Amino acid sequence: MQFHDSMISLVGNTPLVKLNNVTAGIQATVLAKVEYFNPGGSVKDRIAVRMIEAAEQSGELKPGGTIVEPTSGNTGVGLAIVAQQKGYKCIFVCPDKVSLDKINVLRAYGAEVVVCPTAVDPEHPDSYYNVSDRLVRETPGAWKPDQYSNPNNPRSHYETTGPELWAQTDGKITHFVAGVGTGGTISGTGNYLKEASGGSVKVIGADPEGSVYSGGSGRPYLVEGVGEDFWPTAYDRNVTDRIVAVSDKDSFQMTRRLAKEEGLLVGGSCGMAVVAALEVARELGPDDVVVVLLPDSGRGYMSKIFSDEWMAGHGFLEDTSSATVADVLR
């Protein structure tokens, strides 16, 4: 019989797929590491497993304990699945700007979700930050993973994502490109690949225009899951050889092209990372192998990136698209 003991053993070992169409005119091979094949649908399943197992080993998380984390997205889903399989409770704290769909996904896995008002100062007792801290203090057996400072976040990528890429490319990878959110993915994977290659693999971070990693102040941008207004300790600044800043418009247009031209329905930070990867690959030759990591699926963004109304409302559609509609109607 062929089966997995639980969903947890399905985390990792995601496929690598060649990009064949958005790469027109590029000589280098560009491969995508497609992380939506993880059971929770994103790269964050990897850190959830590693952070929880390390907390069990250190005794911070005890049988029947409760995981408390301020997250509304992919990390919450990963933690919820692993927690449910191992018998822990989960309480997630998220701001009220988060869509009901995302909150319901977390509840579907059995997690409790506490929604906080966005329109209050960080010092206010009802703020996102204060509520999660209070829940940790007041809940018996509570443990907060804190993906921004937890060393097991980058470590999970050093132990899984990095070795997978080295093996899948037969050691031929020359460039690794990933978006930077907590910095865990790029730091863990990048450091592993540098060590395995004797320092020759180049590591390139992709960042939304305005975020601190590319020299901004944290100005708002719409790509989700990447960019910051502070420097998390999970990010090793020395790992990146280069940071490429990408606009929301370029990120979202590439995200739509990946679905239309490559059959990859992925999230906005994936489009952003691919824009950066192509910018790097354009300067390279036929022996170069560029790997770009795609963190999640496009299913969570149907009413945004994949909605013409939403895209047009933000000025992200090409000017020609309305002309095309007019031409058809004529």
Report, as residue numbers or ranges, the catalytic residues: 44
Using the contact rule CB under 6 A, the part of the chain among 83-91, 115-123, 195-203, 220-228 near ligand PMP is 220-228
Say if CB 294 and CB 33 are below 8 A apart.
Answer: yes
**Shortest Cβ distance from residue 268 to ligand PMP (Å)?**
7
Regarding 180 and contact with ligand PMP (CB under 6 A), the answer is yes
User: Which H or E run contains 137?
Assistant: helix 128-138
Least distance (Å) between residue 205 CB and ligand PMP:
9
| Residue 181 touching ligand PMP (CB under 6 A) | yes
**Binding of residue 269 to ligand PMP (CB under 6 A):** yes
Given 185, 251, 253, 255, the residue binding ligand PMP (CB under 6 A): 185
Which CB contacts under 8 angstroms, 24+ apart, belong to 227-233? 227/180, 227/181, 228/180, 228/181, 232/148, 232/149, 232/182, 232/183, 233/148, 233/149
> Does the protein bind ligand PMP through residue 74 (CB under 6 A)?
yes
Residue 73 as a binder of ligand PMP (CB under 6 A): the answer is yes
Q: Could you tell me which stretch among 168-176, 177-185, 193-201, 304-312 binds ligand PMP (CB under 6 A)?
A: 177-185
From 184, 208, 210, 271, residue interacting with ligand PMP (rule: CB under 6 A): 184
Q: How many CB atoms lie within 10 A of CB 37?
A: 17
The single residue among 67, 111, 226, 264 that binds ligand PMP, judged by CB under 6 A, is: 226
Give the rounded distance of the alpha carbon of 61 from its chain centre: 25
| Bridge pairing between strands 142-143 and 112-116 | unpaired
CA proximity to 59, closest of 159, 143, 155, 150: 143
Residues 6+ apart with CB under 8 A from 183: 154, 232, 234, 235, 236
Taking contact as CB under 6 A, which single stretch among the options 13-21, 49-57, 88-96, 219-227 is the one that binds ligand PMP? Answer: 219-227
Please say which residue, 12 or 295, places its beta carbon nearer to ligand PMP.
295
Does residue 295 bind ligand PMP (CB under 6 A)? Answer: yes
Q: Binding residues for ligand PMP, per CB under 6 A? A: 73-74, 179-185, 224-226, 267, 269, 295-296
